[in-house]
A and B are shown apart, each in its own frame.
Chain A
Amino acid sequence: MDSMVRNPDVKQRDAAQAVVVAVSSDAIFDPEVEQVHGATEPLRKGDAFSFMKAIQVVNERLLTLNSDETLLFDVILLSNDSEEKHSRIIASAKHYGLDIGRFCFCNKEDSIESLQSNEVKLFLSMDTNDVCKALQKGVPAALLYHQTDPNHQTEDQLKVVFSGDVIGSSEEMLHGLREQGFTETQLQGFKTAKGSVKEFAILMGEMRRRFGLEGSPLCTGLMTVWSSRDVCASALKTLRGWGLLVDEAFCLAGAPRSPILNLGFIGNTMKSSTYVKEGRDYSMYYGLEV
């Protein structure tokens, strides 16, 4: 069971028209901080705090273009924290002026159900396991990229990167993976991820079109980490078919992705359909962990 609290400081969006995004509170507020019982000062900013600010910029720009715009980000903060922390979370959101429409407090075990019942278009967390579990249950989910360099965080552009390996996958490609030793569960994971990201991609395509080619606060990208350029081409075509023409495209052919992500996608990345298993010293990404 969850408890939903509406944020009185934020104008409520029309959830049916908006892009409802649930974000884990551990991403926005630093969970490591020693919680002193009864403490009241605002929580420290978490690693993906600037992501929230970037979302805000997109919403503000959308409303500037059209004050009646309904295709806006509608953020639900998902928290598994103990009850005594709830009011502190709400107060912190107010303190930082975060554009959070609703707070959802629930137990960890009930998170998935909450996500499903609130028709969340995308669940974002920095915890790979949480993202995987959600994906397995058919909830669209993505990894918020962890920024190591606080000096490089930009708040004025939101970058959404889609996975070319997943979106560009085909029966033929999956069969090839099968021959390479991937399990059926892993392959099914690919298909599920591809299906679950479609709706979100369509929405991003629509939202991106609100802005011009240059100077957009929303930037979309495609990254193919280990597949060939033809898989990348297939992904580009698929996304186009869904109404999304990405701004940037990267094909890494096995090169480590973090140097690229650290540069191009600073601070505000949502990466859909995550890779889980990172090979030892040569960062190979393959499949979804079961």
Chain B
Amino acid sequence: KELRSERDTLCLLIQQPKPQNAITIAVSSRVLFNMDKEQQIYEQKGMEEYLKYQIEHETEPFGPGPAFPFVKALEAVNTRLRELYPESEELFDVVLMTNNHAHVGLRLINTINHHRLFIERFCMTGGNSPIGYLKAYHTNLYLSADPMKVREALEEGIAAATMFNPPEKRTEVSETQLRVAFDGDAVLFSDESERIYKAHGLDKFFEHEKAHENTLLDHGPLKGFLESLGKLQKKFYAKGQRMDCPIRTYLVTARSAASSGTRALKTLRSWGLDTDEALFLAGAPKGPMLEKIRPHIFFDDQMFHVEGAAELGTVAAHVPYGVAQKRPQKKLAEENAKDSSAAAK
């Protein structure tokens, strides 16, 4: 009781959940906002000019970046959660994690205010690696424009993905329902099956998957994030809001429903997880399907799919994990599509 009232006196000052209770999403400044122009200045004219420019334009808010709609959707979910569970700290907590210099701090805070974002936590590390801070904040997902930092985070066991400039033609996404799409292998699952495919080809892949249908796949870097989303979904179901749930998840995989997909579904089931929809494309391009789904973000380990999604208007993030990173991407997917349509015959 005493603890409660002590907390009450400070509740005006702190409304943020404790990091270990919340689902912490760390975003870098370049994925939350559009800083293209400034990035160019930095690359062409160096740090001093860059910072000078930032300070001169301090009162001009940045435009939205690729992760902006995703963050807005997270806040929409939080609003619904707070209505149903006002005491709970199981919410999304968005942290701005940037290795930008604190000179840019005022412009970033002004921008957060301008867009009415609910971001109270931030780290501006002035050039130092943010990885240690990610761990200190129990980060559940890290989004950055810098692939090196993303790899570092993955190596430390933190779910992470690289984001790019949003597509020119952007598919409209919901402001009230968060939609997250995941690739299967090397994202939700480990890359073990992809390794078989790389080493021994598609036929061996199918053989292997069939033989191991009842063996669980090992988990991939984003399994935990799907799990967090599932936990929140159940909170809505518990209050009778299954039909109106503001979170929807999708599995979008090159596996085929008839064969290799079984192992994926069985694995998810045994983890106690599921996705609202599972789309088995049997090697077909993912872009058109994603265009229909309209997710706020789509995670894939292959740049080919990330780019394909972006071409048709979906914001996709690259998870640089697993064996797919060591070979040219496009060729693999083409082979995959060719062989799987041959196999289907």
Asked if A22 CB lies within 8 Å of chain B CBs, one says no
Asked if A180 CB lies within 8 Å of chain B CBs, one says yes
Residue with the highest number of chain B CB atoms closer than 10 Å, among A228, A249, A250, A253: A249
Q: Is the CB of B51 within 8 A of A236?
A: no
Q: Given A213-B101, A250-B124, A279-B6, is A259 in contact with B136 using a C-beta cutoff of 8 Å?
A: yes
One of A102-110, A127-135, A142-150, A218-226 at the interface: A218-226
Closest partner residue, chain B, to A215 (CB atom): B127
What residues on A are CB-neighbors of B127 within 8 Å? 214, 247
Q: Is the CB of A229 within 8 A of B126?
A: no
Q: Is the CB of B120 within 8 A of A263?
A: no
One of B7-15, B234-242, B247-255, B271-279 at the interface: B7-15
What residues on B are CB-neighbors of A91 within 8 Å? none
Smallest CB separation, A211 vs chain B (Å): 13
Q: Is the CB of B112 within 8 A of A229?
A: yes
Asked if A63 CB lies within 8 Å of chain B CBs, one says no
Report Cα–Cα, A180/B12, bound state, in Å.
8
Report Cα–Cα, A259/B3, bound state, in Å.
23
Asked if A86 CB lies within 8 Å of chain B CBs, one says no
Report Cα–Cα, A250/B12, bound state, in Å.
20
Report Cα–Cα, A221/B12, bound state, in Å.
25
What residues on A are CB-neighbors of B105 within 8 Å? 232-233, 236, 249
Asked if A174 CB lies within 8 Å of chain B CBs, one says no
Bin the interface of chain B by size: 35 or more
Q: Is the CB of A284 within 8 A of B14?
A: yes
Q: Is the CB of B123 within 8 A of A236?
A: no
Report Cα–Cα, A226/B9, bound state, in Å.
13
Closest partner residue, chain A, to B125 (CB atom): A248
Asked if B137 CB lies within 8 Å of chain A CBs, one says yes
Q: Is the CB of B109 within 8 A of A230?
A: yes
Report Cα–Cα, A180/B133, bound state, in Å.
31
9 new A-B pairs (CB below 8 Å) besides A213-B47, A213-B51, A247-B102? A219-B126, A227-B13, A236-B105, A250-B123, A251-B120, A251-B122, A255-B18, A264-B125, A264-B133
Q: Which residues of B contact A (CB under 8 A)?
A: 3, 6-7, 9-10, 12-14, 16, 18-19, 47-48, 51, 101-103, 105-106, 109-110, 112-113, 119-128, 132-133, 135-137
Q: List 13 A-B contacts (CB under 8 A).
A: A176-B12, A228-B120, A233-B106, A246-B126, A248-B102, A248-B125, A249-B124, A252-B121, A260-B123, A263-B136, A264-B125, A264-B133, A286-B10
